């Protein structure tokens, strides 16, 4: 599945009761994302920017995507970078929602 395809999907509510993605399924979805990595059963990427203003604009855009999808990452914000980590807390691992949101963040930087 390409990032375009997965980025067109919407997150589905997840209240638990389903298993996390199998490692092979997570690896398959990872192939559609540039620069993202699976680290300790989480999906993460660090984005670099020219200055603090661009970093904060990106953080605000992440907040908008997170609100629209009702799926929220862990963020570590620095002066010129932002580390984004996704995993689905309700299931204690990765879900398709994590990859959907990651693809949506990639789209923010395509302009």
Span 7-13, average pLDDT: 83
pLDDT at 110: 83
Span 15-26, average pLDDT: 89
pTM for the whole structure: 0.91
Q: How many folded domains does the chain comprise?
A: 1
Q: Which of 7, 10, 13, 1 is nearest to 91 (CA)?
A: 13
Helical pair 96-108 and 23-30, crossing angle rounded to 10 deg: 10
| Angle, vertex CA 72, rays to CA 71 and CA 75, nearest 5 | 160
Please report which confidence band the pLDDT of residue 1 belongs to, taking 50, 70 and 90 as the band edges.
low
Residue 17 CB neighbour total at 10 angstroms: 7
Please report which confidence band the pLDDT of residue 39 belongs to, taking 50, 70 and 90 as the band edges.
very high
Q: Is residue 15 part of a domain?
A: no
pLDDT at 51: 98
In whole angstroms, give the CA distance from residue 30 to residue 61: 22
The CATH number linked to 88 is 3.30.1360.20
Q: Is residue 50 part of a domain?
A: yes
């Amino acid at each position: 599945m390409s990032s375009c395809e997965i980025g067109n999907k919407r997150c589905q509510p997840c209240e638990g009761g389903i298993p996390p993605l199998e490692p092979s399924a997570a690896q398959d979805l990872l192939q559609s994302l540039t620069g993202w990595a699976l680290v300790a059963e989480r999906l993460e990427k660090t984005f670099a920017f020219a200055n603090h203003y661009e970093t904060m604009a990106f953080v605000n855009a992440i907040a908008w995507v997170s609100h629209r999808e009702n799926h929220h990452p862990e963020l570590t914000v620095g002066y010129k970078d932002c580390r984004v980590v996704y995993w689905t807390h309700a299931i204690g691992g990765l879900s398709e929602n994590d990859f959907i949101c990651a693809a949506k963040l990639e789209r923010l930087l395509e302009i």
